[in-house]
Structure 1
């Protein structure tokens, strides 16, 4: 069964399906949809959670083995499979189909995937999920849908705004729902549950009306090179100090390197997510970024940032903004650093 993301809550309240596929390229809606399923699953006794990340030479036997694990306290299993590419391959497709055929009432499977293409929707594994459970595809919000989403989000916080105010907020965040959510939280913190004036919104989100480093890092994590370079050009035009951009790049690269190292040495990433206070709604964005590169490549980019920082201090010669541009391109396509240590 295929549902719109807005239909998920009412469906969960009626009955839990044995398997959910939540796919898309919009991290906030996708993360919140998965959080909603998790909460309902926990309420139903699925508290023995196991998370699997498909990357590199993933052993698909882990998926079937997870369904056989039984808690000493007779707790049910919540199994989460992160599939950033939305392409499990032949072996993965067979593993998913086999698991669904044998899935017991003590197991619930959530597959968090990237955007599905036409071939994926025709595949046996997708049709098997559609037959056994629920498919939720998350789409970016634009135009009237974005305006309605923002208006609903404001009302959830007890805030009201005119149509012009909502449009101003939409123009400021440029479709970035994570940024929109942060701005609404900021407005609620500053003004409380009130009717916002145009001036309230304009003064509070003024910084977002310009390109900023957070939009840059969001674009980089999503691998959107064209968008990242457009934002970088805007930052340069605003004469933002290069060290500020490098700080933001270093922060994200260190998180990715830490996630890669933790997975490589311990087989998990929970400690890094907890240390850096990464929200559940944004974890999948980091997973998608990780699927593009390895530990050595993230470390190489960190070294490149350090070199660019030395250029800004006059210790080395070079064009720091050109170096930042190259790092951004490599962030979106880590294979550019294949020859690096």
Structure 2
């Protein structure tokens, strides 16, 4: 996410805005921007004097004035006073006083307004913040964007990961951006700058298996390797915390859904972009498309739906994870 990385770079380079309005559903971006602002302007000596955090409360009509009083004053110890308002929607009904301040800010203060959900861009508080400060919409990342997000963060953190390493991390973390960030930090701390981080390194440093993971499961299914598929689901079923049954089924569904779409793409050169995958992996879909026709995939969707119901205990016993997975794999391979 270029906009997010630009804001982080600006803060790290001392280019600070007097006002930050952060809104949207993804907490990772909001929390990280706030943390980096705080780390940049507040030190151990100033934390008790120049930092204030409040949560907007509908029942407290004095909060807006409290905010104005704090940001108008000069810092007592550091270079800036920093006020962070969480759940800012409840701070005021019209933000009249806040808007008035934003249009005539104190250059020695930084005001951060964080909103839990998306803010109406027609609101004056949004327009004023955009004109005089920095506005960021914190959007959720979809599953098909996770690989690209990890790739961009690797570039940002100067990490050189092999495409298979990125895929393994993406499969394990899903769109949990905080976990992704933690895993990448582990890799950064335990590798040299110019190293190419291979799946073996991911397994050694993070603990994700390079042989038994979601990526390898869909890969061997695509290669029509029945025995290896059974071996992987057997391994996964022994650790249901790390490999939840619904996630395994969802991963296999996602693979076949993309494969179904691949069949329908006339210009195969456009497939990586349309499928939201790295071109490095497109050959796996090309090979799998020979094994699985659209008609066969349609039948497999039915088996996946049945397995999903069983995993949720709908009309079936959901305690036998290995039995559900073995049955699913059997039906996939016998679906000709």
Q: TM-score, normalization: structure 2? A: 0.50
1:180 maps to 2:184: no
Match of 2:285 in 1: none
1:70-85 map, 5 Å: 70-72=74-76, 75-83=79-87
Match of 2:55 in 1: 53
Match of 1:137 in 2: 137
SS of 2:165's equivalent in the other structure is: helix
Check the 8 A contact 1:63/1:95 in 2, yes or no: no
After superposition, the C-alpha distances for 1:227-281 in whole angstroms (9 at most, x for unaligned) are xxxxxxxxx99676xxxxxxxxxxxxxxxxxxxxxxxxxxxxxxxxxxxxxxxxx
1:184-195 map, 5 Å: 184-188=184-188, 194-195=195-196
CA gap of 1:103–1:187, structure 2 versus 1, over 3 A, is closer
After superposition, the C-alpha distances for 1:9-59 in whole angstroms (9 at most, x for unaligned) are 45554843221112232222222222333345459xx97222222135233
1:94 maps to 2:93: no
Match of 2:67 in 1: 63
SS of 2:93's equivalent in the other structure is: helix
Q: How many residues align?
A: 209
Q: Which moved more, 1:120-129 or 1:102-111?
A: 102-111
Check the 8 A contact 1:26/1:138 in 2, yes or no: yes
* Distance in 2 between residues matched to 1:7 and 1:237, nearest whole Å: 43
Check the 8 A contact 2:146/2:174 in 1, yes or no: no
Q: Which runs of 5+ in 2 are unaligned?
A: 215-236, 242-336
Deviation at 1:176, TM superposition (A): 0.5
SS of 2:110's equivalent in the other structure is: strand
* Distance in 1 between residues matched to 2:191 and 2:104, nearest whole Å: 53
Match of 2:293 in 1: none
Which protein is richer in helix relative to its size? Answer: 1
* Distance in 2 between residues matched to 1:189 and 1:11, nearest whole Å: 24
* Distance in 2 between residues matched to 1:11 and 1:197, nearest whole Å: 32
* Distance in 2 between residues matched to 1:111 and 1:18, nearest whole Å: 11
* Match of residue 109, structure 1, among 103, 108, 111: 111
Q: Which moved more, 1:147-156 or 1:56-65?
A: 147-156
Match of 1:205 in 2: 208
* Distance in 2 between residues matched to 1:174 and 1:238, nearest whole Å: 17
Q: TM-score, normalization: structure 1? A: 0.50
CA gap of 1:159–1:100, structure 2 versus 1, over 3 A, is closer
Check the 8 A contact 1:54/1:82 in 2, yes or no: yes
Q: Which has the higher contact order (CA 8 A, sep 6+)?
A: 1
CA gap of 1:55–1:238, structure 2 versus 1, over 3 A, is farther
After superposition, the C-alpha distances for 1:162-182 in whole angstroms (9 at most, x for unaligned) are 222212211111111111122
Q: Which has the larger radius of gyration?
A: 2
Check the 8 A contact 2:58/2:92 in 1, yes or no: no
Note the aligned Cα RMSD (angstroms): 3.9
* Distance in 2 between residues matched to 1:209 and 1:115, nearest whole Å: 34
